[in-house]
Structure formats: C-alpha cells, structure tokens
C-alpha cells in the first residue's frame, strides 16, 4: 500500500523562491508545576554517585567463518649442483665430489668439526642422558592420587551432508586407533527424505573438518567393522540387507557385495569378523531372523545359514529378529545373538544339526537388545543393554540376570565394557547422556554421567586402550572423548574383587531360583489339592480383565509417586535458589 499525497501547482509557479512571513510567537502548551507530585519523592542525603575517570571501552565478539586448511607437502629433489652439471651423470658428480675433497679448506674444516663430533658420539655411548630414574616408584605414586572421575570431549565430527543421518555404528582402526570408521543411516522406517546421502565416512581423529575417506555403498550402512587382522579391509552391513566389503587402498566403491537374493531381507544390524586362518570370514545378523556366515572372497552366497527359531524347527516365520551379535575370539565355537524380542540366544557353531545350534536362551529384557558383549576378563559374564536398563548375566543362570541397573528415564541404546577394567562399562541413552558405571565403586548409579548432546546417542565404541571412546548421535555427530586415568587403569585387586562379586551374585540368583521353584511347586500342589477338595470353584483366580485393571492401577500409582518425588525435589532446589 503506497501512501500518496497529491497536490497541484500551476506551471508558472514552479521554481519560485519560498515566501517566508513573520508570525508572532504562539503558545501551544503550558504545563504548570504540580506540587502534589512532590509527595512521590523524598530527599536523599547523602547521595552516592559513582564516577569513573577511565576510558570507555566496549567489548565485541566476532566469530569468523570456519577456516578450512589443508596439509600439503613438498618433495625434495636433489639440487644445489652447479648449473653446468647434470645430477644424473654419475661420473660428473663423482668428479665434482673428488674435487671438493682435495680442497685444503675442506680438509681443515672437516678435521675440526669431526673432532667435536667424535667427542659427542663417545659421550652418547658413555651415558644415556634420557634414562628413566625411579621407574618402579612411579606406579605407587599413581595409585595414591584420588582424582574425580571425569571425561572431556576431544573432538567432534559432524555429518558433512545437509540432511543429517544417525551415526549407527563406529569402528576403530585396529593399528594405532588414529582412524574411526562411522556408518551413517536413517534408522526410522521410511522417514528419510529422498535425497539423503548413502555415504559413510572414515575420519582421521586429528582432522574433524573433513572425513579422510568416503565409503559409497548402494544402500546406507547400518554397521561397519574394520578387519582386526588387515587394517585396510572393512565390511559393512547395509539397510537393504546386503553385505559389502571395502579395501581402503582401492577407493570408495565396495570391492564386492553380496547378491541380493542370498542376502538378508531386513537391515543388517551387526556384522563381526571371525577368527580364521584366512582372516576373511564374517557373520552377520538381521531382524529377518537369520544369522549368515560369509567368506568375503566369495560374496555370491553365504557359507552357512542359521534361522533363529526358538522352537528349533528352522521356521523363518516364527524366527526371532536379531539386533546384536556377540563373538569372542577366545571362544570361537560359541556365539550369542541379541533379539528384537528381548531374548538372548546362545548358540554353538560346531553343532551338527541346525536344531542343536541353538543351545539356550536368556530372558529378562522388555525390548530389543541393542548391545551384547562378554566381559573381556570374565567371559562367563556378559552385558546386555536394552529397554531402560543394562543387565549383567552369568552364562549359567538362564532365568534372570545377576545384576541390573535401575530403570532409567530414557531408553538405553548402546553399551560396552571397558577393555582394560573388568568393573567398568559404558552406556548411552536416548536423552544424549553417556554413563560410565564402575560396579566396584557404586552400583545404584553411574559413577560418571555426562550429557554429550541434546539428541539421542545411538552408538558407542571404546578404543583398545580404554582411554578414548567415540559416541555417535542421531544427527550424525560423533564425539571423541577422553576419560580420566582413574577409570582406565586397572586398580590393584580389581580382578579378584570383580570375580568375587560376580560369583556372589550368581550364587544369589541360583538360591533365589531354587526358592522360586520350591514355592511354585508348593503352589501347584496346594492348588491341585484345593481343586480336588472344593470341586469346580474359581477360588481366588482373577479374570484376565481384572488382572489388567489391577496392573494399570499399580502402574499409575508408581508413576504418581515418582512424579510427586520429582516435584518435591524440584521445589527444594527452588527454595535453595531463592535463599541465595
């Protein structure tokens, strides 16, 4: 809308000078003082006024655009030869050298500097100036220092694409841990926009600006693993069920991919390298209910196939979907599979018939088991991370776990043991926190809980030294963290204490199990008796609907109690703040 003012003027009057005329002063407004307003003010005596005789300065902050730098090297080529001499010509160079050697000045100089050199060489042989004194005493000093457990972020690697995908899996480079391979995919079913990139990256941990190498699969990768024997080979399981392997020397395209007809029919959630002479065997698991074994040299079809049917009939329809796999190279005949349904299935590779392959199952979780790992120093005990808890199990007890964390406010999405300390494990949650648990120190709460980012953390991987770990988030941000020395150095007696703890808990579960069995038998025999005595009376048996109503009521009661507790805590915090 344009504001327009139109006026007309005669053409003959254009360009005329302005005619100003005098006008007497006009009083427009006269505001008289109102003494009643003075009542709103009091006289203040003395008045404190601060005055500063200093230069006025202002502070500004400027954030520049990210500066991209690249490292380049220059190759030295032999130079310095006189212009008329061709360095390739052996004879000419030898002649030149001989000429220099005959020079008197050269000889005198060399005699001088060689004397000094001899002295220093002999000095080196006489004493080692970098000898470590008190090497043994160092260890004692370390144990005495009690530092607070802490962790700090070293580097953050962000997904360079516009549309961010979740960092679903991380794998450290087997030699030296300088590189981190991260698999990116969109985990929500069909939620990803059409132009989402399929690439996964290998990052050099020193350079967070640009990934060192890009892996271009046909379908986004859900899991990715370096070959522990050959650090150039990586295998990845993709969203469409295919398995592909890369050789970093050969470029970004996969060297070979499994054929679609023989691959999984659901995303491949975990792929692990096996211990074999050729170093080319892997096995993969997917929610389609199969565990497949492959030899990467021949990806056209799997070498072996196992259907996770708990009824042992090999029926794919009733199979459990696999979400995680566990394999320990020290126990090559056994492996475990974590399923979507919350069961852990323990299997034997060397069984003759498929039915015998599935040895037993462990139940206790309410949701898919996202992480499954044996304790590196106590392989009979393993950790599972699922729903809102993390649980530690003993192989011998199948009905329940021997230790578990409390139910958290957010889902736990991944976890792993520390490779150096048997009592330390890590978990990541949907609210973006990383928890470090030390079961010898505290069992009810994590020893250290850090908020890494605002979005959910989907994956975590610790380096072999136990010191550094990487965690991947929903928006593709991988954070590299260093944890304090206290949490990654083996304490004295730690192994013995952890072993005692596991044994104690295992025994407790065994005793509880036995008691439960006794009670159940008693109940059964009692109910049978009462049925015989009193005929067909529905005695104390609630109908299904009543049971559901009772369960609902109990659940809401617990929720209300929790909420009230939280409110009370919040109020006490507010009171403390007000007092301050």
Cis peptide before 84 (omega within 30 of 0): no
Q: Which stretch binds another protein (CB under 8 A): 99-107, 152-160, 414-422, 466-474?
A: 99-107
Member of 9, 10, 28, 76 binding another protein (CB under 8 A): 76
State the residue for tokens 């965690």: 471
Q: 342 and 387 in contact (C-beta within 8 Å)? A: yes
Burial class (CB in 10 A: 0-12, 13-18, 19+), 148: exposed
Q: Which residues of 522-533 are buried (b: 16+ CB within 10 A; e: fewer)?
A: eeeeeeeeeeee
Q: Which is nearer to another protein, 84 or 128 (CB)?
A: 128
| Cα–Cα distance measured from residue 454 to residue 427, given in angstroms and rounded to the nearest whole number | 16
Q: 171 and 181 in contact (C-beta within 8 Å)? A: yes
Q: Which stretch binds another protein (CB under 8 A): 119-127, 205-213, 285-293, 519-527?
A: 119-127
Q: Which residues contact 488 (CB under 8 A, 6 or more apart)?
A: 418, 420, 421, 424, 465, 466, 467
Supply angle C-alpha 496, 500, 506, rounded to 5: 145
Q: How far is the CB of 113 from another protein (least distance, A)?
A: 4
- Among residues 156, 161, 167, the alpha carbon closest in space to that of 208 is found at 156
Supply angle C-alpha 563, 564, 569, rounded to 5: 100
Q: Which stretch binds another protein (CB under 8 A): 73-81, 162-170, 201-209, 242-250?
A: 73-81
Q: How far is the CB of 107 from another protein (least distance, A)?
A: 4
Q: Which is nearer to another protein, 96 or 388 (CB)?
A: 96
Member of 78, 144, 147, 261 binding another protein (CB under 8 A): 78
Member of 95, 97, 250, 565 binding another protein (CB under 8 A): 97
Q: Which stretch binds another protein (CB under 8 A): 117-125, 216-224, 307-315, 421-429?
A: 117-125
Q: In 127-174, which residue ranges form alpha helices assigned H by DSSP?
A: 135-144
Q: How far is the CB of 82 from another protein (least distance, A)?
A: 8
Q: Which is nearer to another protein, 126 or 578 (CB)?
A: 126
Cis peptide before 46 (omega within 30 of 0): yes
Is 218 strand, coil or helix? Answer: coil
| Cα–Cα distance measured from residue 562 to residue 568, given in angstroms and rounded to the nearest whole number | 10
81 binds another protein (CB under 8 A): yes
| Cα–Cα distance measured from residue 4 to residue 7, given in angstroms and rounded to the nearest whole number | 10
| Cα–Cα distance measured from residue 13 to residue 519, given in angstroms and rounded to the nearest whole number | 116
Q: How far is the CB of 96 from another protein (least distance, A)?
A: 8
- Number of residues interacting with another protein: please give it, by CB under 8 A: 35
Q: How far is the CB of 79 from another protein (least distance, A)?
A: 7
Q: Which residues contact 310 (CB under 8 A, 6 or more apart)?
A: 318, 320, 343, 345, 358, 361
Q: Which stretch binds another protein (CB under 8 A): 65-73, 120-128, 175-183, 361-369?
A: 120-128
| Cα–Cα distance measured from residue 502 to residue 255, given in angstroms and rounded to the nearest whole number | 45
Q: Which residues contact 15 (CB under 8 A, 6 or more apart)?
A: none
Q: How far is the CB of 92 from another protein (least distance, A)?
A: 12
Q: How far is the CB of 125 from another protein (least distance, A)?
A: 5
Member of 38, 117, 511, 559 binding another protein (CB under 8 A): 117
101 binds another protein (CB under 8 A): yes
Q: 196 and 211 in contact (C-beta within 8 Å)? A: no
102 binds another protein (CB under 8 A): yes
Backbone angles phi, psi at 35, to 5 degrees: -70, -20
121 binds another protein (CB under 8 A): yes
Q: Which is nearer to another protein, 37 or 116 (CB)?
A: 116
| Cα–Cα distance measured from residue 347 to residue 358, given in angstroms and rounded to the nearest whole number | 5
375: which 2 tokens?
A: 């304790």
84 binds another protein (CB under 8 A): no
How many other C-beta atoms are found inside a 10 Å radius of the C-beta of residue 36?
Answer: 7
Burial class (CB in 10 A: 0-12, 13-18, 19+), 457: buried
92 binds another protein (CB under 8 A): no
Q: Which stretch binds another protein (CB under 8 A): 121-129, 188-196, 213-221, 293-301?
A: 121-129
Member of 4, 29, 57, 116 binding another protein (CB under 8 A): 116
Member of 125, 148, 190, 353 binding another protein (CB under 8 A): 125
- Among residues 530, 524, 438, 439, the alpha carbon closest in space to that of 488 is found at 438
548 binds another protein (CB under 8 A): no
Q: How far is the CB of 105 from another protein (least distance, A)?
A: 7
Quick note: the x/- pattern for another protein over 128-167, rule CB under 8 A, is x-x-------------------------------------
Quick note: the x/- pattern for another protein over 460-499, rule CB under 8 A, is ----------------------------------------
Q: In 403-493, which residue ranges form alpha helices assigned H by DSSP?
A: none
91 binds another protein (CB under 8 A): no
355: which 2 tokens?
A: 């039915």
Member of 86, 95, 118, 526 binding another protein (CB under 8 A): 118
442 binds another protein (CB under 8 A): no
Q: How far is the CB of 290 from another protein (least distance, A)?
A: 50
178 binds another protein (CB under 8 A): no
Q: Which stretch binds another protein (CB under 8 A): 71-79, 168-176, 302-310, 554-562?
A: 71-79
Member of 86, 89, 95, 107 binding another protein (CB under 8 A): 107
124 binds another protein (CB under 8 A): yes
Q: In what order do the strands lie in the sheet with 358-362?
A: 322-326, 334-339, 344-348, 358-362
Member of 1, 120, 545, 579 binding another protein (CB under 8 A): 120
109 binds another protein (CB under 8 A): yes
Strand-pairing partners, residue 120, are none
Q: State the residues that interact with another protein by CB under 8 A.
A: 76-81, 96-97, 100-102, 104-118, 120-122, 124-128, 130
């Amino acid at each position: 809308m344009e504001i327009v003012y139109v006026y007309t003027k005669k053409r003959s009057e254009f360009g005329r000078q302005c005619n100003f005329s005098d006008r007497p002063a006009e009083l427009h407004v006269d505001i008289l003082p109102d003494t009643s307003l003075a009542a709103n003010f009091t006289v203040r005596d003395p008045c404190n006024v601060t005055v500063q005789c200093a230069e006025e300065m202002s502070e500004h902050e400027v954030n520049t655009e990210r500066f991209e730098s690249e490292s380049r090297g220059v190759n030295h080529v032999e130079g310095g030869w006189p212009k008329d001499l061709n360095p390739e010509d052996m004879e000419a160079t030898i002649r030149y050298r001989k000429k220099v050697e005959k020079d008197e000045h050269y000889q005198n100089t060399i005699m001088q500097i060689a004397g000094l050199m001899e002295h220093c060489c002999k000095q080196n042989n006489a004493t080692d100036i970098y000898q470590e004194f008190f090497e043994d005493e160092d260890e004692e000093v370390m144990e005495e220092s009690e530092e607070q457990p802490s962790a700090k972020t070293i580097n953050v690697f962000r997904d360079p694409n516009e549309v961010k995908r979740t960092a679903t899996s991380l794998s450290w480079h087997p030699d030296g841990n300088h590189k981190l391979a991260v698999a990116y995919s969109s985990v929500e079913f069909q939620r990803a926009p059409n132009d989402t990139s399929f690439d996964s990256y290998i990052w050099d941990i020193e350079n967070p600006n640009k990934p060192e190498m890009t892996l271009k699969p046909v379908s986004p990768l859900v899991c990715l693993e370096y070959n522990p024997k050959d650090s150039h080979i990586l295998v990845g399981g993709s969203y469409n069920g295919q398995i592909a392997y890369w050789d970093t020397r050969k470029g970004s395209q996969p060297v070979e991919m499994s054929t679609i007809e023989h691959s999984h029919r659901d995303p491949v959630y975990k792929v692990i390298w096996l211990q074999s002479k050729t170093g080319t065997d892997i096995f993969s698991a997917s929610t389609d209910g199969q565990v497949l074994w492959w030899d990467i040299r021949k990806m056209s079809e799997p070498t072996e196939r196992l259907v996770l049917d708990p009824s042992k009939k090999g029926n794919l329809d009733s199979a459990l979907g696999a979400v995680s796999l566990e394999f320990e190279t020290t126990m090559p005949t056994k492996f475990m599979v974590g399923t979507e349904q919350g069961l852990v299935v323990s299997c034997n590779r060397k069984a003759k018939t498929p039915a015998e392959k599935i040895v037993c199952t462990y139940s206790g979780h309410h949701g898919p088991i996202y992480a499954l790992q044996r304790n590196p120093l106590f392989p009979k005990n393993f950790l599972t991370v699922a729903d809102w808890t993390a649980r530690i199990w003993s192989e011998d007890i199948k009905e329940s776990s021997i230790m578990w964390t409390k139910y958290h406010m957010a889902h736990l999405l991944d976890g792993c043991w520390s490779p150096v300390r048997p009592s330390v494990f890590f978990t990541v949650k949907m609210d973006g926190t990383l928890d470090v648990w030390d079961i010898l120190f505290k069992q009810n709460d994590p020893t250290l809980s850090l908020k890494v980012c605002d979005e959910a953390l989907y994956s975590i991987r610790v380096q072999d030294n136990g010191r550094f770990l990487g965690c991947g988030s929903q928006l593709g941000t991988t954070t590299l963290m260093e944890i304090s020395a206290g949490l990654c150095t083996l304490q004295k007696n730690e192994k013995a204490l952890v072993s005692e703890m596991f044994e104690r808990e295992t025994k407790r579960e065994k005793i509880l199990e036995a008691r439960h069995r006794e009670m159940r038998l008693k109940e059964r025999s009692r109910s049978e008796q009462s049925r015989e005595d009193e005929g067909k009376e529905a005695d104390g048996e609630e109908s299904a609907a009543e049971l559901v109503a009772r369960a609902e009521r109990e659940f809401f009661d617990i929720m209300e109690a929790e909420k009230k507790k939280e409110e009370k805590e919040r109020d006490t915090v507010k009171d403390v703040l007000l007092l301050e």
